[in-house]
Amino acid sequence: MVRKGSCSAEREGIDMRRLSSAVAVSGFLAMSSLAAAQDLATVEAPGYGGAADSGWTYQLQLYIWGTEVGGVANGKDFDIGFDTLVENLNFALMGGLKAYNGDWMSYGELGYAALGYKDGATINTSIGVDIDVDLDTEVKSTVVSFGGGYRVINEPNYTMYVTGGARYLRLDSTIQLKVANRKLSLESDDDYWDAVVGLQGEARFNENWFMPWVLDVGAGQSDLTWQAGLGVGYRFGRNDIVFGYRHMEWELPEDDVVTNYYQSGPMLLWNFRF
């Protein structure tokens, strides 16, 4: 883990709340890619990779998460709405793949996002001198998640797995604040490896409607991470559509730029079985 420098500035005309939360935005981008597809994706129903089938079956998952982000960055509380995140998003790729064979399952996920934000203002001083202030922020996040699970409950209308795995998060953040001819900068390159254990399951109401849920907790290079999610899904052919709600929260080391953040919001997931 490498951390480089820190800076702070107070001024009029620029939204300082955005400055303090710019690095933390990556938490949303990283963490929304971290496990979103895994968490509210359907656990396979009988006939879709369950005990009745032989050999491996797979699930490809793509998703959208309309989350808000909050926490503590540079010692200040922040919260960022979904509309602000979308407005400043340059590129994002989020998806996952699951594999099932009898009572066993495995999963792997990749998430990448790049965020750019620029702002500027002119400060009118009391001595009649105008000062130009410019803010330029770039945040990139990469998340890799992988692991496996074992089915401990397999009833006609209910399934539950015990899961365990690892999560890797890399955050690359650069913030530059230019005031007149002076430039202040903050750069942060942080890596986090965490081991995670949890439970996930699915209640089936009939052949089409079902309710997936997930709960897990972990730690490692972060002090603590946990998540909970619940959804309602509709199954048709080889497809599942799930609408749900997730909350994720991290406690990070006190000497990091971001020491706490959470993300909560509704999500829409498409799952394809093959």
HEC string for 69-113 = EEEEECCEEEEECHHHHHHCEEEEEEEEEEEEECCEEEEEEEEEE
Count other Cβ atoms within 10 Å, centred on residue 130. Answer: 9
Q: Report the pLDDT value the prediction gives residue 205, as an integer from 0 to 100.
A: 96
Instruction: Dump the DSSP string for 244-268.
Output: EEEEEEEE--TTSSEEEEEEEEEEE
Residue among 182, 179, 186, 183 at smallest CA distance from 133? 179
Report the CATH number at residue 6.
2.40.128
The encoded tokens of residue 32 equal 């929304």
Task: Give me the residue label for tokens 């559509």.
Answer: 241
Q: Report the pLDDT value the prediction gives residue 126, as an integer from 0 to 100.
A: 61
Cα separations (Å) of 271 from 30, 151, 199, 206?
Answer: 21, 20, 19, 18
pTM comes to: 0.70
- Name the 3-class secondary structure at 24: helix
Q: What is the pLDDT of residues 83-107, one digit of tens each?
A: 666 666 666 677 889 999 999 999 8
Those residues of the chain that have pLDDT short of 70 are 1-54, 67, 69, 78, 80-92, 113, 115-133, 135, 180
* Total domain count, the chain: 1
State which residues form the domain around 222: 2-273
Task: Give me the residue label for tokens 């996920």.
Answer: 109
Cα 126 → chain centroid: 45
Q: Report the pLDDT value the prediction gives residue 227, as an integer from 0 to 100.
A: 86
Q: Report the pLDDT value the prediction gives residue 185, as an integer from 0 to 100.
A: 74
Q: How many CA atoms lie within 13 A of 219 on its CB side?
A: 4
- Assess contact for 269 and 229: CB atoms under 8 A: no
- Name the 3-class secondary structure at 30: helix
Task: Give me the residue label for tokens 């530059």.
Answer: 176
Q: How many CA atoms lie within 13 A of 176 on its CB side?
A: 10
Q: How many CA atoms lie within 13 A of 188 on its CB side?
A: 27
The encoded tokens of residue 237 equal 């052919």
Q: What does residue 34 show for φ and ψ, rounded to 5 degrees?
A: -60, -50
Q: Report the pLDDT value the prediction gives residue 105, as an integer from 0 to 100.
A: 94
The encoded tokens of residue 243 equal 């609408």
